[in-house]
């Protein structure tokens, strides 16, 4: 009987020593300042160990104090850790690493590399670092953020990934906006639409599809491995691009997911065509879901599911890769915890939305567990088996890119990432003045933050300039009681070829200078005149729907 083992194993977690900053007898929440410093120390123990023992390999092997290549040969840990350095306030090391990457990173090599992992870690990491360079004190070239060495490297890597494109809308739409080349966003949109068109009659998708035949190889439908980034990027792509169609697609999926896979605030795996349960398991990768729910304003459901997942963490001191929900125990050969970030990520989002101290307690438990179980002389080791705390000789790069970053941001409410728009930077580009750093950062699935305002810095269309001028003229005309211009609002729908020529209407032709020109549906430079899709409020990257 597996339940006989739960009590002694649970005690392993309960007996972890309480440190200063943990809740006291009065139930006070963990002290954020204390745990912020603890997290920072965790980062540098891991980061310094990588530099001393593993660089220029992709990742550190902490038990043997050496390195190995995993997802290519790109010094992945260095790229993945770069924006974390700035979030922790280390501008000098950020600047040094940028120089190292410029001098040493080479994509003209013959290696087997994962398309997905290269995109989220390398392309995403370089794009984020590029957009944060000026904030980090890097001397940027004229034309930034529409040009720069890190952007060029990201573009070079992305072009090599084009033949195998997947659901990369966050990174590839950002690339298209910054470089002016629409090919990246176009192919990413095609991938999203192909999956949408392949859903079953009951609205579900499987977790593995043959891209050549379009047939589903694995027909298990859920929210975890294989489809997690797809759902995540529908929501984040919708927010980043203010795209009502992407949000509508996710909300349709969300209905089917709730109808067929949700049971008592757990999400099971079901047969995509029939909706019958195929795997009653929780995968640790699924722990991103409460954070995603918070982004659409579904806070109550998010918290209930989060608390379910948190009980698993308390049981083992981490999240096993697979957890059998009916049995309340791990699944054979899936007992490990490779220091994944997803539950901590959800805690960070939900704490920003609710301020619930329970979420800080998860952060405390994560710090205590990881330090107690996983810390070794040369970094932090993957936990091979949560039942007996055996370790494996690997420290994945996402530990520094995601796990530590989300922990730090959970305990650092005043970090620039959490900016509410009260401060910003005005940057002059070849296309005019651009506002950056106002907040609302969108994290890619490797926790690399993208400034959504940057997408409007390098693609100011003539039509958009005219629209702004028309709106300003209308404003002043109305103010003077002489309304002469008819207001126009550009569509915030997806970027696609127009059905026919379009015009911006006005009562006059502005002295005949502007002729009717064909237009594409584009995201407006200024989205203030109208709220996108059905949102009432978009703040700090969160979208609150009418029904919330």
- Whether residue 56 is preceded by a cis peptide bond, meaning omega within 30 degrees of 0, is yes
Given a contact cutoff of 8 angstroms between Cβ atoms, the answer to whether 312 and 369 are in contact is no
Quick count: other Cβ atoms within 10 Å of Cβ 406?
26
Q: Tokens representing 74?
A: 């790109």
Active site residue 232: no
In 274-400, which ranges are continuous DSSP H helix? 289-295, 299-316, 342-354, 357-369, 398
Grouping H, G, I as helix, E, B as strand and the rest as coil, residue 443 is strand
User: To the nearest 10°, the Cα dihedral for 205, 208, 210, 215?
Assistant: -40
SS3 208: strand
The tokens for 532 are 């996108």
* Residue 339 and residue 399 in contact, taking contact as beta carbons nearer than 8 Å: yes
Classify burial at 377, counting beta carbons within 10 Å of its beta carbon; exposed 0-12, middle 13-18, buried 19 or more: exposed
CB 16 within 8 A of CB 368: yes
The reply to whether 445 sits in an annotated binding site is yes
Q: What is the Cα–Cα distance from 334 to 80, expressed in whole angstroms?
A: 26
Residue 224 CB: number of other CB atoms within 10 A?
24
Give the pair of three-digit tokens for residue 244: 């009502």
Active-site residue flag, 141: no
Cβ atoms of 504 and 477 closer than 8 Å: no
Is residue 252 annotated as part of the catalytic site, yes or no? Answer: no
Least Cα distance to 364 among 12, 34, 71 occurs for 34
Q: Which of 37, 117, 265, 356 is catalytic?
A: 117
Helices and strands (DSSP H and E) totals, the chain: 18, 22
Q: Active-site residue among 220, 228, 286, 345?
A: 228
CB 239 within 8 A of CB 443: no
Residue with tokens 């805690």: 347
117 catalytic per annotation? yes
Please list, residue by residue across 345-365, b when 16 or more beta carbons sit within 10 angstroms of its beta carbon and e when fewer do. bbbbbbbbbeeeeebbbbbbb
Which residues are documented as binding site for Ca(2+)? 445
Report, as residue numbers or ranges, the catalytic residues. 117, 228, 321, 342
């Amino acid at each position: 009987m597996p339940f006989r083992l739960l009590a002694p194993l649970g005690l392993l977690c309960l007996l972890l020593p309480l440190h200063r900053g943990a809740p006291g007898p009065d139930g006070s929440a963990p002290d954020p300042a204390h745990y912020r410093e603890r997290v920072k120390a965790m980062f540098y123990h891991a980061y310094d160990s990588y530099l001393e023992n593993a660089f220029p390999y992709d990742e550190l092997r902490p038990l043997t104090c050496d390195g190995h290549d995993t997802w290519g040969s790109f010094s992945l840990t260095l790229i993945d850790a770069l924006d974390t350095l700035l979030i922790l306030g280390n501008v000098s090391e950020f600047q040094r690493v940028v120089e190292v990457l410029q001098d040493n990173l080479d994509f003209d090599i013959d290696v087997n590399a994962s398309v997905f992992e290269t995109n989220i870690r390398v392309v995403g990491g370089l794009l984020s670092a590029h957009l944060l360079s000026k904030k980090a004190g890097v001397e940027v070239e004229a034309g930034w953020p529409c040009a720069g060495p890190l952007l060029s490297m990201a573009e070079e890597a992305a072009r090599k990934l084009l033949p195998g494109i997947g659901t990369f809308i966050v990174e590839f739409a950002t690339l298209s906006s910054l470089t002016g080349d629409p090919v990246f966003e176009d192919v990413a949109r095609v991938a999203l639409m192909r999956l949408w068109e392949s859903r079953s009659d009951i609205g579900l998708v499987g977790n593995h599809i043959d891209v050549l035949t379009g047939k589903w190889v694995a027909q298990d439908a859920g929210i975890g491995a294989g489809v997690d980034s797809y759902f995540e990027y529908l929501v984040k792509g919708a927010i980043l691009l203010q795209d009502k169609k992407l949000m509508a697609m996710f909300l349709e999926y969300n209905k089917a997911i709730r109808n067929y896979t949700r049971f008592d605030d757990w999400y099971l795996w079901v047969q995509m065509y029939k909706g019958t349960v195929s795997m009653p398991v929780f995968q640790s990768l699924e722990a991103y879901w409460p954070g995603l729910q918070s982004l659409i304003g579904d806070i109550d459901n998010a918290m209930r599911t989060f608390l379910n997942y948190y009980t698993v963490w308390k049981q083992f001191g981490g999240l096993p890769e697979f957890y059998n929900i009916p049995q309340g125990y791990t699944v054979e050969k899936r007992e490990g915890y490779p220091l994944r970030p997803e539950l901590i990520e959800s805690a960070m989002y939900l704490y920003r939305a609710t301020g619930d101290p329970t979420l800080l307690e998860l952060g405390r438990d994560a710090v205590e567990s990881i330090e107690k179980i996983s810390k070794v002389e040369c970094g932090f080791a993957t936990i091979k088996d949560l039942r007996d705390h055996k370790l494996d000789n690997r420290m994945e790069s996402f530990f520094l890119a995601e796990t530590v970053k989300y922990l730090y941001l959970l305990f650092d409410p005043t970090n620039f990432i959490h900016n509410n728009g009260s401060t910003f930077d005005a940057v002059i580009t070849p296309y005019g003045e651009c506002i950056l750093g106002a907040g609302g950062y969108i994290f890619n699935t490797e926790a690399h933050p993208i400034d959504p305002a940057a997408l409007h810095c390098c693609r100011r269309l003539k039509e958009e300039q005219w629209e702004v001028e028309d709106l300003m003229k209308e404003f002043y005309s109305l103010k003077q009681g002489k309304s002469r211009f008819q207001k126009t609002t550009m569509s915030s729908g997806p970027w696609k070829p127009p059905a026919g020529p379009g015009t911006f209407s006005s009562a006059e032709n502005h002295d005949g200078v502007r002729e009717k020109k064909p237009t594409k549906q584009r995201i407006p430079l200024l989205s203030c005149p109208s709220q996108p899709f059905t949102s009432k409020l978009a703040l700090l990257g969160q979208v609150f729907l009418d029904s919330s």
